[in-house]
Amino acid sequence: MAGKKRNSSFEILTAMQDLNTPAGALQLAQILHLPSASIGRELLDLEKAGLLVKVQNKGRILTPQGERFLEEERSRREKMKAANELIEAASMETESGLEDILLVRKLLEGYAAEACAERIEPKELQKLKDLQADYLYAIRHGRAGSEEDLAFHLKIAHLSGSPSILRMLKLILTDQDAYARFNQAAVRSDEVRENEHESLLAAIEAGDGALARREMERHLEHVGENLQAYFAGRK
């Protein structure tokens, strides 16, 4: 369902659920301040979709399918709101915002590393090693390595087999180049270590999921230490 259509359907169904009585286009038009003709067409579409049903000449009411649609749509909107709040936090160079993002990263990426280690194939392992090589090349040539580091972490999320985790991390870390700003604050150039990912990569190669989770958490804890040092230096 398209975004605009989904929004109008959500508004109409919500109003009808709040009324808890059969309703028609004229009554809903007064509540929603929309043309009754537009609402009439929408009601007809919702009925055809199985979300509404006519009650004699009194109007329409929600079907069980319509109730489920509302419940699922509210849940989707809450998740999008939470994701947008995380994105906003990641876009701000504040200590509390970045610490919140780091906490979420530990939860998501810890699981991703464990799942990745338990299911990775040799071909994919080589791709992960190649990304690590790109990261090493970047920092050895005086660059921050933000893009390479991000690619490495997102690859692990991809290899975890969880599209949801990958989508969430992309939302958090790539909106408006948020990862570069996070990396700038969290990793001081004089503390970038060439072996930052080595233990994690070794655990993944060994197929040790529990160790891979611990190594990912340890890596992100190190990022957190640098983050605290960064903000302490600015006070």
pLDDT tens-digit series, residues 84-121: 666 666 555 566 767 777 888 898 999 999 999 999 99
β-sheet bridge partners, residue 53: 61
> Is residue 191 located within the same domain as residue 114?
yes
Q: Exposure pattern of 190-202 as b/e (b: 16+ CB <10 Å)? A: eebeeebbebbbe
Residues 154 and 169: beta-carbon distance below 8 Å: yes
> Is residue 28 located within the same domain as residue 110?
no
Cα-to-chain-centroid distance, residue 85: 10
Q: What backbone phi and psi angles, to 5 degrees, belong to 120?
A: -70, 140
Q: Give a yes or no: residue 86 inside a domain.
A: no
Q: What backbone phi and psi angles, to 5 degrees, belong to 53?
A: -145, 145
Q: Give a yes or no: residue 84 inside a domain.
A: no
Whose tokens are 């190669």? That residue is 205
> Is residue 130 located within the same domain as residue 17?
no
* Statement: residue 37 has pLDDT above 70: yes
> Is residue 59 located within the same domain as residue 130?
no
Listed residues 54, 69, 84: the one ending a domain: 69
Q: Cα separation of 105 and 218, whole Å?
A: 12
The structure tokens listed for 4 are 């605009």
What is the domain range of residue 33?
Answer: 3-69
How high is the pLDDT of residue 2? 46
The structure tokens listed for 169 are 């991390």
Range 15-36 average pLDDT: 94
Task: Please indicate whether residue 158 or residue 107 has the higher confidence score (pLDDT).
Answer: 158
> Is residue 120 located within the same domain as residue 217?
yes
Residues 149 and 223: beta-carbon distance below 8 Å: no
Nearest Cα residue to 108 out of 156, 146, 145, 174: 156
Report the residue count for the chain.
235
* Statement: residue 6 has pLDDT above 70: no
Q: What is the CATH number of the domain that holds 143?
A: 1.20.120.530
> Is residue 212 located within the same domain as residue 108?
yes
* Statement: residue 205 has pLDDT above 60: yes
